[in-house]
Structure 1
Amino acid sequence: MSIIVAILVFLVLVTIHEFGHFIVAKWAGIKVNEFAVGMGPAIFKKQKGETLYSLRAFPLGGYCAMEGEDEDSSDERSFDNAKAYKRLVVILAGAFMNIVLAILAFFIVNMQSGYTDLRIDKIEADSPAYIAGIQENDEIISYNGKKPLLFLELRNMIINSNNESDTLRVKRDGELIDIEVKPELATIEDDGQVIEYKKLGIMPKVSYDFLGSFKESINTCRYAYRSMFEFLGRAFKGKVKKNEVSGPVVIIKTISSAAKVGFSSVMFLLGLISINLAFFNLLPFPALDGGKAVFILFEMITGIKPNKKVEYIVNIIGFSLLMLLFLFVTYNDIKGLIK
């Protein structure tokens, strides 16, 4: 059952992405030849108007086949003959729908399990926060000058701080107050290993309200994007470890484990993977939607339409590199599982 849940998560992610391309292509007047859920042989097909809707045997993909997207076409409603701005919106719509899906998934988790905001609910006795004079109901504004989006981000700021003392800015009764605080070392046991970490001794409020849940889901997406930009920065500097990059094998294993925990865990992972998919799909790399958007933006800025053959060759090279990366990551996944 957990494997089925993992497969369904992938199917939802891809279908929503392709539906974004599909619905905006229809709006733009671009001819869509087929909208498919799944890959491989068709097990169900229905022709409605000009578009074939199909359900295919392997539930690990899907596609929106637009006339003239990857081949020459004389049809006046082909993708290639549409205005540049319409083609750009169609290309970006897939990632946009993944962002919408992520916000919805996080919202459902927040409404079901509650969310922790940046207001302090409780303070441990004799903790650094207690000693520094932090009070219950204080709202955390910044930590060492940086504004956290989530309590999770605040915790990471505390753990990663190398200062002897840190500055915590809080809002109390409408007034901003700066407080010097010295985090203390604490330990936790995880699978027989003792892990050291820093803490202040504060507990956040847990809320379930509609608007707060929605705002928190957006902030979770913003934090995910911020983290991914930081990841790319470390990647360019060669500071990313192999175990920080996971492929489909590890992702399926993680989703399967989450399925055993409960619905909220699956929805949170769905949102996390969806926002990651949106981010990496928009990178200006050939064969990705971001790479296609670059060609369209070049046309919009210069008025020169890129050579179709050149674009095709660049996309083939980009796709080949992505496949090599996919195989490498999958190999490391399997190697890690065997160990």
Structure 2
Amino acid sequence: MGFLVSLLVLSFLIFFHELGHFLAARWFGVKVEVFSIGFGHKIYKKVYGDTEYALSAIPLGGYVKMKGQDDANPSLLSHDQDSYNAKKPWQRLIILAAGPLANLFLAFLLYVAIALLGSQALAPIINEPDPSLSAAKAGMRSGDEIIRIDGQKVRTWGEMSELISKSQGEIEVEFLRGGQERSLMLLPTLRESKNIFGETILRPMIGVSALGEVRIVSYSLFESLPKALNETIRSSQMIVLGIQKLLSGVVPSSEVGGVISIVQITSKASESGIITLFALTALISVNLGILNLLPIPALDGGHILFNLYEMVTKKAPSLAVFTNLTIAGWVILAGLMGLGLYNDLSKIAQGVMP
């Protein structure tokens, strides 16, 4: 059952991505010849209007084939009024960006749903504070529940921790003790910590740790919208940072996962409940959106780069340059997919696949 859910999630994410391209293309009057979920042999197809809608045998992908655009054969150009090539570079740029943006929008919607439905979160209730730092010195003690930092309401340990880590001086900490509200001015101290990439960093701390109480936290629609937007932005930033760390060697190439990893993790998430599945789906959707914006010729980002070049120079790249770079892009993608598959199979062989 989990495997089926994984395929449905991946197909849905791909559908949403391609739907973004499709709607933008149709908005600008570009004929969409094929809208396919999956690659390879078409096991089902139906023509509506000018478009053939298809479900193909390999469900790990999808594509929108626009008139005048063919990555498999870049020389097949068309300059008819309803073709992709006949549109202005800025219009093509919007069509290309619409797919990744659709994935980011989907992640935003999923984060809104998570906030509305409620999810488990660590409560901002402190354990015995570190006696050497400001919280203990000011008189805070185990069981105190932090409710506001500098006037900003906090409902989870993560929200509290983030506000403290962003502080640049003295902060006002409001907390509950015995049902009564109290307030203290605390000066965070820079201490060494580890980030998610295992790097040693300095971050402001007041010397508190979580008591460990977990509760269900939900938000109103008004609260959910900015929270979902912040979560989408934060996830996007973390993925971009992860790519930078991978390229710089901080994150080893052995951490690159492939389709098998995605299916396995999604399957596990589906067994943990709808909120966990929504959260993972949102993260994969952000990942799909950001990765497609990378300046690799075979991806949306590469085509966006070509159009930006045309907008600046007032001329399109030569067919030879376009073809060679597109082929190089496919080689890079094939290499990354091969690396991900190799890592997945290695983990399975070592018995460490999640």
Bucket of the pairwise TM-score, normalised by the shorter protein: 0.7 to 0.9
**Does residue 1:77 correspond to 2:97, yes or no?**
no
Partner of 2:19: 19
User: Which residue among 96, 101, 115 is the counterpart of 1:96?
Assistant: 101
Q: Which moved more, 1:274-283 or 1:200-209?
A: 200-209
**Does residue 1:63 correspond to 2:66, yes or no?**
no
Q: Distance in 2 between matches of 1:168 and 1:15?
A: 48
Partner of 1:145: none
Counterpart code for 2:284: I
Partner of 1:31: 31
**Does residue 1:139 correspond to 2:139, yes or no?**
no
Q: Distance in 1 between matches of 2:50 and 2:27?
A: 14
Q: Which moved more, 1:120-129 or 1:290-299?
A: 120-129
Counterpart code for 2:3: I
Counterpart code for 1:250: S
Counterpart code for 1:107: V
1:141 to partner: Cα distance: 5.9
**Does residue 1:122 correspond to 2:130, yes or no?**
no
Q: Distance in 1 between matches of 2:137 and 2:302?
A: 51
Q: Distance in 2 between matches of 1:155 and 1:231?
A: 21
Residues 237-277 of structure 1: CA distance to partner in whole angstroms, max 9, x if unpaired? Answer: 22112343211111111111111111111111100011011
1:325 to partner: Cα distance: 1.6
**Does residue 1:212 correspond to 2:214, yes or no?**
no
Instruction: Give the TM-score normalised by the residue count of structure 2.
Output: 0.77
1:132 to partner: Cα distance: 4.5
| SS, match of residue 235 in structure 1 | helix
1:103 to partner: Cα distance: 0.9
Partner of 1:267: 278
Counterpart code for 2:188: E
Change (3 A) 1:78 1:298: same
User: Which residue among 117, 121, 134 is the counterpart of 1:112?
Assistant: 117
CA contact (8 A) 2:33 2:66 kept: yes
Identity %: 31
Partner of 2:171: 169
| SS, match of residue 122 in structure 1 | coil
Unaligned runs of 5+ in 1: 143-147, 161-165, 186-197
Residues 46-93 of structure 1: CA distance to partner in whole angstroms, max 9, x if unpaired? Answer: 222211122223322221110001221242211011111110000000
CA contact (8 A) 1:102 1:270 kept: yes
Matches within 5 A, 1:248-327: 248-327=259-338
Partner of 1:193: none
CA contact (8 A) 2:129 2:207 kept: no
1:281 to partner: Cα distance: 0.8
Change (3 A) 1:264 1:301: same
Q: Distance in 2 between matches of 1:36 and 1:83?
A: 25
Partner of 2:187: 179
Residues 13-37 of structure 1: CA distance to partner in whole angstroms, max 9, x if unpaired? Answer: 1111011000000001111111112
Residues 190-226 of structure 1: CA distance to partner in whole angstroms, max 9, x if unpaired? Answer: xxxxxxxx97234798342222222222111111122
Q: How many residues align?
A: 313
Partner of 1:195: none
Residues 92-128 of structure 1: CA distance to partner in whole angstroms, max 9, x if unpaired? Answer: 00000000111111222222224769xx853335566
| SS, match of residue 123 in structure 1 | coil
**RMSD after superposition:** 3.4
Counterpart code for 1:200: V
CA contact (8 A) 1:140 1:169 kept: yes
Q: Distance in 2 between matches of 1:95 and 1:168?
A: 40
Change (3 A) 1:39 1:229: closer
1:299 to partner: Cα distance: 0.7
Counterpart code for 2:126: I
Change (3 A) 1:249 1:31: same
Change (3 A) 1:95 1:176: farther
CA contact (8 A) 1:124 1:130 kept: no
Q: Distance in 2 between matches of 1:97 and 1:176?
A: 44
Partner of 2:40: 40
Q: Distance in 1 between matches of 2:159 and 2:324?
A: 42
Unaligned runs of 5+ in 2: 71-75, 175-180, 194-205
Counterpart code for 2:224: S
Partner of 2:233: 222
| SS, match of residue 239 in structure 2 | helix
CA contact (8 A) 2:260 2:341 kept: yes
Q: Which moved more, 1:256-265 or 1:206-215?
A: 206-215
